[in-house]
């Protein structure tokens, strides 16, 4: 884990599990403090910084991941390529690249900012709440993914049409359609009109 002044303050020297801290923000995305990860997701949720990554192959197919069954939040559901939270003081772009490599074993050959979206999505299965100011990124996945099984249960590359069919029959994360729709202009610019996004 990268060491920033905020994360260093919460590091454990006795081998105990380290608290994961998130960056709390206001409605404009300005940092206003920190909170422990699980506490920030307890109802009604506290608005915090997050990121979502959408990677595509050269055929314009989106790389999806099914979240590992051991995840505390939204286990076993399909979602975008990678999502998560920057450490306090960590740039969202750096966090997106770091987590994509940690979860999927790949480094995007291209990664571009695609705007932000703010949402409030309760997760009925866990009772947790996603109150997020989410930084969106789109890019290309040219290397073969090598997923970490503790993070990712399964992966799939899908066309726009295949995604529609899969979304109709399989469970997806509560935030998936919100972040996908917000990223669509940048996705279309990246993949071109023929990909159908």
Q: Which residues are catalytic?
A: 83, 132
How far apart are the C-alpha atoms of 61 and 37, rounded to whole Å?
A: 32
The closest of 11, 89, 95, 65 to 173, measured between CA atoms, is: 65
Q: Can you read off the two tokens belonging to residue 34? A: 């920190």
Q: What sign for the dihedral angle of Cα 103, 104, 109, 114? A: negative
List, in sequence order, every residue forming a beta bridge with 52; answer none if it has no partner.
83, 136
With a CB cutoff of 8 Å and minimum separation 6, the contacts of 60 are: 159, 191, 192, 194, 195, 196, 197
């Amino acid at each position: 884990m990268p060491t920033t002044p905020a994360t260093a303050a919460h590091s454990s020297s006795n081998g105990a599990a380290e608290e994961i801290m998130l960056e709390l923000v206001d409605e404009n995305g300005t940092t206003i403090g920190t909170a422990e990860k699980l506490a920030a997701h307890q109802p009604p949720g506290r608005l915090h910084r997050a990121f979502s990554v959408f990677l595509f192959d050269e055929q314009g197919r989106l790389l999806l991941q099914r979240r590992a069954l051991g995840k505390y939040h939204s286990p076993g559901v399909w979602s975008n390529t990678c999502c998560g939270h920057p450490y306090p003081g960590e740039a969202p772009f750096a966090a997106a690249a770091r987590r994509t490599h940690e979860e999927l074993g790949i480094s995007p050959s291209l990664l571009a900012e695609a705007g932000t979206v703010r949402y409030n999505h309760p997760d009925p299965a866990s009772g947790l709440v996603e109150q997020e100011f989410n930084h969106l990124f789109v890019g290309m996945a040219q290397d073969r993914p090598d997923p970490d099984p503790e993070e990712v249960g399964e992966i799939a590359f899908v066309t726009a049409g295949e995604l529609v069919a899969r979304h109709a029959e399989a469970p997806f994360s509560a935030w998936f359609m919100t972040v996908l729709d917000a990223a669509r202009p940048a996705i279309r610019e990246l993949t071109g009109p023929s990909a159908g996004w």
